[in-house]
Amino acid sequence: MMENIFWCGHEWITSERWGQVHPDKSHWWYDESCVEIDKDNYLHLTTKYNPKYFPEIDKNATIGVGLVSCTTKFGFGIYSITAKLPKGENLWPAFWMWSWDSWPPEIDVFEAYSDSKGSYLKPRLSNPLGFWNVQTNVHYKEGDANKMTGGKTHYFGFKDPSKNFIEYTLIWQKDAIKLYYDNRLVRTIKDKNILDQFSKAKMNVILNNGVTEDVDKMNPPNSDFIIKKFRYSPIFY
């Protein structure tokens, strides 16, 4: 049974609004026991071995993960979190948002991926400065097809994001979507056809830990995604 929490001035539920398990990612589920707020008001989203059977998809989900979904319907504005990524193998933490009315549109402020050795470091010859595997992305429609700008890594310094708190910020305006990591502008979306799909949308903000592999293929995950605070400032037109 999902729970409600009040954190950083907003109400959040400890599940996606449609339920606790995704049929296409059934090795994990949104486990309310993996969500905690500590004495300093830091949010902790953890992972653990905690099998649960879901009769609606007739599958056992083996890994419980922490996720919070904000009940506020957000519009244009500035969104940011200050966070330390979880340590561990094959993890998939994220800060993202999608429309209350449809999917897409979606903005991924970041999706981060640790490897089988527990590192977020992933140098690429095609993008040598984007050596942390922390990716931005935007999903949208083109006709009847679901499209995306594509996951992209960026340079935002040499601080390991699993050992240091980094500020991740989205500025969502009518004429641009801008993404900043530690006050460094890393990506701008200005395509009018994409922006028009967001212009009337109200967005659901989500923070989650996650895993990319089933527990049978990896060591049982015990990770902690720590978020100091969530901030939102509306932009009015």
104, part of any domain: yes
Q: What average pLDDT score do residues 81-87 get?
A: 98
Q: What average pLDDT score do residues 99-111 get?
A: 97
Q: What average pLDDT score do residues 66-79 get?
A: 98
- Say whether the peptide bond before residue 105 is cis (omega within 30 degrees of 0): yes
Total domains present in the chain? 1
Q: Examine the pLDDT at 6 and tell me if it is beyond 70.
A: yes
Task: Write the pLDDT tens digit of every residue in 142-196.
Answer: 999 999 999 999 999 999 999 999 999 999 999 999 999 999 999 999 999 999 9
Q: Examine the pLDDT at 220 and tell me if it is beyond 90.
A: no
180, part of any domain: yes
CATH number, domain with residue 172: 2.60.120.200
Q: Examine the pLDDT at 30 and tell me if it is beyond 70.
A: yes
Q: Which domain holds residue 221?
A: 69-234
